Amino acid sequence: MSSSPRNTRPSDLILLVILVVTMVALTVAFFAGGYWDGMFPPDAVTTQGDEIRSLYDIVFWIAVAIFIVVEGLIVYSVIRYRRKPGQDDLPVQTHGHNLLEIAWTVVPTLIVAYLFVISFQTLSSIDAVARTPDVKIRAVAEQFRWQFDYLADDGVTTLFTEEVATADLGGGMHVPVGVNVQLELTTPDVIHAFYVPRFLFKRDVVPGMTNVFDFTIDPAEAGQTFSGQCAELCGTGHRVMLLDVVAMRQTEYEAWKAAKIEQANATPAPTASAGPVGVTLTVGALNIAFDQLSLEVPADQAFAIDFTNSDPPGVLHDIDIRAADGTVLQDQPTIDGGESTTYTFGALPAGAYTFICSVHPIPAMTGTLTVR
């Protein structure tokens, strides 16, 4: 070491070539595969999201500039200042340089001060909460489902409740575009987070606290559905806490809302007549999923389901039967994880129905019941 260095060994050169070629290839693949666009958030669909996106772009390009300058400096130094054969004398022992050191303290301070100021400006805009929003919805997060209470103008009374959180099951949080929607977040159990990637936004749902935020969906997005999910670990079924936001034109929204209110006020369907049990089926639940998603029973005859909940204690399941339009026809009590029971259902006329876990109205716990 104290003598001048040996020449570079061939194995070192091979490894260097492997390193450089692989990193370059990965970088090229990253750009060629179209992933560079992925370094930006998806296009925002709310006015608040648009502002976050503009801020992100500024932060991102500053970050890219800093990265190129500093990483470039590292690479340059590594190439330029490698020890060459014959360099036996010590290099100049530089201990520091006051001006340089002051410069690289002051300049970053100015950059972060600028970032703080623009972040703070954006923050006060997107965190603003209207006193009288156009639409007010209370999202209730529970292990492991979302439920949306649509509130009256007083902001307290529930007009109706959307119990199904995803659009593929005919539900979802329907909201009008172009108006200010206020979302109030509550939970009776553990911490969750309301997260819709295309809002570029999330907010925790904390027990004992009510979080509120406003958003306005861009009018151009009417007819779109935006998926989201719980972003704060909330237990075994965290992954299945999906939700959809359905953006509607104002008029469509009003019609949807009127239909929902009417449905909520309608007298429940007459309970199906009980009778001797015909067939008995077996259904199990594990990992927040039914073990079968299609059942068949004879028409006009009561039937039973032996139901076993194999999830851990605390994870409740049940089997309800709903009509095609989502109306609950037969409601069964939930059972705890590790328990089993036999549900008896009244006779149903021939047709297609849905059997669903009312605690987890998600695809994995929604099956079709064919009655013939």
Find out whether 43 and 218 touch, Cβ atoms under 8 Å.
no
Q: Which of residues 276-335 bind other proteins (CB under 8 A)?
A: 287-288, 312-315
Q: Which is nearer to other proteins, 74 or 266 (CB)?
A: 74
Task: Encode burial over 140-158: b for 16+ CB neighbours within 10 A, e otherwise.
Answer: bbbbbbbbbbbbeeeeeee
Of 70, 152, 269, 324, the residue at the interface with other proteins (CB under 8 A) is 70
Hey, which residues between 226 and 285 contact other proteins (CB under 8 A)? 228-239
Of residues 109-128, those binding other proteins (CB under 8 A)? 109, 112-113, 115-116, 119-120, 122-123, 126
User: Taking CB under 8 A as the criterion, which residues in 152-191 touch other proteins?
Assistant: 189-191
Q: Is 23 in the site for other proteins (CB under 8 A)?
A: yes
**Whether the Cβ atoms of residue 361 and residue 169 lie closer than 8 Å to each other:** yes
Give the burial class of 323: count Cβ atoms within 10 A of its Cβ; 0-12 exposed, 13-18 middle, 19 or more buried: middle
- 78 touches other proteins (CB under 8 A): yes
Beta strands in 286-325 (DSSP E): 294-297, 302-309, 320-322
d(CA 83, CA 369): 77
Which of 28, 32, 82, 274: binder of other proteins (CB under 8 A)? 82
Q: In angstroms, rounded to a whole number, what is the distance separating the alpha carbons of residues 361 and 230?
A: 15
Is residue 30 part of the contact set for other proteins (CB under 8 A)? yes
Distance, CA of 296 to CA of 282 (rounded, Å): 12
Q: State which of positions 329-368 bind other proteins (CB under 8 A).
A: 337
What's at 124, amino acid-wise? S
- Closest distance of CB 289 from other proteins, Å: 9
* SS3 label, residue 198: helix
**Any contact of residue 2 with other proteins (CB under 8 A)?**
yes
Choosing from 12, 254, 300, 306, the residue that interacts with other proteins (CB under 8 A) is 12
Q: How far is the CB of 202 from other proteins (least distance, A)?
A: 6
Using CB under 8 A, which of 7, 208, 266, 372 touches other proteins? 208
Distance CA 7, CA 99 (A): 38
For 33-68, give one letter per residue: b (16+ CB within 10 A) or e: eeeeeeeebeebbbbbbbbbbebbeeeeeeeeeeee
Which residues sit opposite 343 in a β-bridge?
Answer: 305
Fill in the per-residue mask, 85 to 104: x = in contact with other proteins (CB under 8 A), - = not in contact.
--x-xxxxxxxxx--xx--x
61 belongs to the binding site for other proteins (CB under 8 A):
no
> Helices 98-126 and 47-80: crossing angle, nearest 10°?
160
Stretch that binds other proteins, among 70-78, 176-184, 276-284, 319-327 (CB under 8 A): 70-78
> Which residue from 25, 23, 41, 43 is spatially nearest to 33, judged by alpha carbons?
25
Which residue of 139, 164, 183, 200 would you call a contact of other proteins, by CB under 8 A?
A: 200
Q: Is 33 in the site for other proteins (CB under 8 A)?
A: yes
Contact residue for other proteins among 28, 32, 43, 71 (CB under 8 A):
71
For other proteins, the binding residue among 211, 225, 308, 341 (CB under 8 A) is 211
Smallest distance, other proteins to C-beta of residue 129, A: 11
Which C-beta is closer to other proteins: that of 216 or that of 330?
Answer: 216
* Amino acid identity at 119: S
Taking the complex as a whole, the smallest distance from the CB of residue 59 to other proteins amounts, in Å, to 6
| Cβ 248 to other proteins shortest distance, Å | 22
Helix (H, G, I), strand (E, B) or coil at 369: strand
Contact between 46 and other proteins per CB under 8 A: no
**Total residues interacting with other proteins, rule: CB under 8 A:** 102
Distance of closest approach, residue 162 Cβ to other proteins, in angstroms: 21
- The two tokens of residue 116 are 């703080």
CB of 171 to other proteins, least distance (A): 17
